[in-house]
Structure 1
Amino acid sequence: MEDVPVWAARLRAERRNRLWSQREMARRLCDAADDHTRVRLPERDSIVRLMKDWEAGRHRPADPYALLYCRVFDMDERELFNEGGPRPRRLPADVLKDLLGQENPLGRVTKRKARRVSSEAVADLMSRAHGLRLADDVLAGGDLIRPAFRELDTAVRLYRESTHTEAVGHTLLVAVGEIAQIAGWVASDAGLPDQAARTYRLGISAAHEAGDGVLESNLVGSLAYQVANSENPGESIELAHAALDAAGPDAPARARALCWDRLAWAYARNGQAQATMRALGEADQALAGDTPRDDPGYLYWVDAGELRIMKARAFTELRRPLRAVPLLTDVLSRYDATHARELALYLSWLAVALADANEPEEAAQVTERMLDVSADVASNRTAERTRVVLARLRPHSDVPQVRDLLSRMPAR
């Protein structure tokens, strides 16, 4: 790829980031043409052959293909075919390869007199994993970190130090992956991002070894979400694309919707508004195709309501409060108050959106409610959001309600 012109690498990367084959790309190029142009285009196989030359950098697309590429990718011609600028993002397969690394953290060290694990024992482990997920709905990371990592340690030791059938071994790997995902999420919420990242990578290795692309995708996407929320969110876009690639086009609708949702958030955190809107649209489209099927249990929470919440958060992040406030207000009017952490987080986004909309009095009122809800929540996420909200309110400190609120807050 290093010897390929930047524009050619960009053509390939943009296509692959959308999980399109070259034949699918050829179809989309044809669909983007007007009637007059379409009748003059060659057969799809001929366009695919041309595309191979374009992506290899042997020839640059001439009109009408350059224009059609711009339409399909929704990019300006200077942006798409610019010879300079940075090279495109790493391909998803390269990102996954780097995540997996060279060492296998699940290397088997079965003891000579190791006990044999039954399918019933693994089923019980999976049940406890789902119990952790349900507990996370109402408890914060500081409350769950010990039991979560105790279960993860149990799962890893069972896989590495016991004997079992091939089928049970496969289920154990899936269990390790699922528990690593929730344990990583809990560690991140407890303010331990490095521990969370290591845990996600352990889970990615287990899911990859089990051949479970959907689970691998969920773990990579969880890591992408954590990185997007960091002070340097740039890598999150590559990770979110890798999660989408790991899931594949045949993944359950909820899995694909979640991938697009996390990609939308990564784009929003990087200030890429157009790409954010496109990813949000893809998430809606993916979920619209949902049909009753045996989705993995860890996708139980992905629904239209969650997509609406992500839209509102993305609009807030992109400083579009007039679109964010109505969505957040509607969601919060029906939200389950027992989910204190999530309620506090969503209130924080509403407070920021109101401040951006130059409604500081209402923003202060919402912030008061957020602080009440999160007072006893052991979550680093809510603590960090509190700092963000207060920082956003300070420019309005001449407003009495805001001044009174800030005067009661310790220095942050």
Structure 2
Amino acid sequence: MIRRIRDHESGRHRPDDEYAELYCRLYGLSEHALFNHTDAETDLGDEIDAMELARRAAASDVGRETLERLEVAVDDLASAYQRTPPTQLLGRVRRHLEYVGRLLDGKKTIAEHRRLLVAGGWLSLLGATCHIDLKQYPAAAARLRTAAQLAHHAEHPEIRAWCLETEAWQALTDGEYHHALVLSQAAQDVAPRSSSAFIQSTGQEGRAWARMGRGIETRAALTRIHQLVSPMPMPDQPEHHYRYDPTKSEAYTVTTLSWLGDPAAVGYARQVLERLESADDGGPRPRRAAAARLDLSLALLSTDEPGEAGHVALQAITSGVLVPSNYWRAKEIIAGVEQRGLAVAEELREAYRELYGPSGQQRPQLGA
């Protein structure tokens, strides 16, 4: 109960209706004032209106300034992925896609048309990723098809490769490891060799090999990633979902070694978690840190340290930032702790049910 109240007061989770009413009485505020600190729809409308005004000022159906603003917005949305609930981000993506659609109907040059197709491709891809996070698979498949078609028309192989990599990630979370392997290898065939999509799909290949228990192939994939990443500088937007940064390779190494059952994963996981929670390399990254805790928990289970594994997993589950595509990993750890008969298993199971419900549907959060 204390943890629940703290979550309410920190803004991490919205209270149920009866508790929301009591908070409103206590503070003498309306429900809207107390639980909706920012009006996301108003902010989003202002963002689109600003781009539309710039377009009209340029006396053009599209125009250079409008395209530049749109491309900046696409990058901002991709960077917001790690810190924004998928339902909220999806709403912003939809509005921008509607705007791209209106611009595509107007007069434009061939170059402007291609830039709109590329922007629409990235937005559709990001929308698909949000749908997968929410386990809305039919909608995700439709978005991926659209992204792939736009990439084809724009002759943009990296977006096409990201579409295949995203499908591989979905297959991996669904336990279809061989399918994930085939898709990740196909993504590497399509992606430019120096692109982030090539590195990311190599990482997905390694994770698929790990889940199949193929140690030699797993380590070979990890070696290729390290060779690709070692000369890379830190990008100017390290949180950008489609720009690989060196810290991602460390997180992928931890996940992969954890699934392989390699004891070295414990040390790696502790280092990665410490870095993700520090102010270095772009500041704390809560969602990645929560995923890193799941990696550390799994690694601790493989080295027969279930007590610490349970407590670390509890921190991840109660963080409030796990997305549905990570729920299966949390449940896998809970099952492992339960098999050891530890008391923390009951607390883990109860915390999971409290926050995500029996169906894995995360309860509403404040401001979401």
**Closer, same or farther: CA 269–122 of 1 in aligned 2, 3 Å:** farther
Partner of 2:361: none
1:371 aligns with 2:308: no
Structure-to-structure mapping, 1:270-349, within 5 angstroms: 270-290=212-232, 301-320=243-262, 322-336=263-277, 338-349=284-295
Tell me, in whole angstroms, the C-alpha distance in 2 between the residues paired with 1:304 and 1:354: 24
1:189 aligns with 2:129: no
SS in 2 for 1:348: helix
Q: Which moved more, 1:118-127 or 1:335-344?
A: 335-344
State the shift of 1:170 in Å: 0.9
Tell me, in whole angstroms, the C-alpha distance in 2 between the residues paired with 1:214 and 1:352: 32
Structure-to-structure mapping, 1:110-259, within 5 angstroms: 116-159=61-104, 161-249=105-193, 251-252=194-195, 254-259=196-201
State the shift of 1:150 in Å: 2.2
State the shift of 1:381 in Å: 2.4
State the shift of 1:168 in Å: 0.3
Partner of 1:380: 324
Structure-to-structure mapping, 1:352-367, within 5 angstroms: 352-367=298-313
**Closer, same or farther: CA 208–293 of 1 in aligned 2, 3 Å:** farther
**Closer, same or farther: CA 169–364 of 1 in aligned 2, 3 Å:** same
Q: Which moved more, 1:175-184 or 1:269-278?
A: 269-278
Tell me, in whole angstroms, the C-alpha distance in 2 between the residues paired with 1:290 and 1:245: 21
1:389 aligns with 2:333: yes
1:170-205 CA-to-partner distances (Å, cap 9, x unmatched) read: 111110111112111111112212212221221111
Partner of 1:4: none
Q: Could you say which structure has the larger radius of gyration? A: 1
Tell me, in whole angstroms, the C-alpha distance in 2 between the residues paired with 1:358 and 1:235: 31
Question: Comparing both chains, which one has the higher relative contact order based on Cα–Cα distances under 8 Å and sequence gaps of 6 or more?
Answer: 2
**What amino acid sits opposite 2:217 in the alignment?**
A
**Closer, same or farther: CA 305–273 of 1 in aligned 2, 3 Å:** same
SS in 1 for 2:117: helix
Tell me, in whole angstroms, the C-alpha distance in 1 between the residues paired with 2:159 and 2:236: 14
Q: Which moved more, 1:296-305 or 1:126-135?
A: 296-305
CA contact (8 A) 1:364 1:402 kept: yes
State the shift of 1:307 in Å: 0.6
Tell me, in whole angstroms, the C-alpha distance in 2 between the residues paired with 1:334 and 1:296: 13
Q: Structure 1 unaligned segments of length 5 or more: list them.
A: 1-114
Tell me, in whole angstroms, the C-alpha distance in 2 between the residues paired with 1:295 and 1:339: 13
Tell me, in whole angstroms, the C-alpha distance in 2 between the residues paired with 1:347 and 1:154: 39
CA contact (8 A) 1:244 1:260 kept: yes
TM-score (norm 1): 0.64
Tell me, in whole angstroms, the C-alpha distance in 1 between the residues paired with 2:149 and 2:240: 18
CA contact (8 A) 2:80 2:240 kept: no
1:240-260 CA-to-partner distances (Å, cap 9, x unmatched) read: 1121111144x34x4432231
Partner of 1:261: 203
Structure-to-structure mapping, 1:8-87, within 5 angstroms: none
Q: Structure 2 unaligned segments of length 5 or more: list them.
A: 1-59, 279-283, 359-368
CA contact (8 A) 1:264 1:276 kept: yes
SS in 1 for 2:227: helix
State the shift of 1:294 in Å: 11
Tell me, in whole angstroms, the C-alpha distance in 2 between the residues paired with 1:362 and 1:265: 24
Number of residue pairs matched?
Answer: 291
**Closer, same or farther: CA 378–143 of 1 in aligned 2, 3 Å:** farther
Tell me, in whole angstroms, the C-alpha distance in 1 between the residues paired with 2:345 and 2:115: 54
State the shift of 1:128 in Å: 1.2
State the shift of 1:312 in Å: 0.9
Tell me, in whole angstroms, the C-alpha distance in 2 between the residues paired with 1:230 and 1:405: 22
Identity among equivalent pairs (%): 22
State the shift of 1:231 in Å: 3.0
CA contact (8 A) 2:297 2:310 kept: yes
**Closer, same or farther: CA 269–143 of 1 in aligned 2, 3 Å:** farther
Tell me, in whole angstroms, the C-alpha distance in 2 between the residues paired with 1:219 and 1:118: 28
**Closer, same or farther: CA 308–154 of 1 in aligned 2, 3 Å:** same
**What amino acid sits opposite 1:279 in the alignment?**
A
**What amino acid sits opposite 1:177 in the alignment?**
G
1:128-153 CA-to-partner distances (Å, cap 9, x unmatched) read: 11111121121121221211222223
Tell me, in whole angstroms, the C-alpha distance in 1 between the residues paired with 2:343 and 2:222: 38
SS in 1 for 2:83: coil
**Closer, same or farther: CA 360–207 of 1 in aligned 2, 3 Å:** same
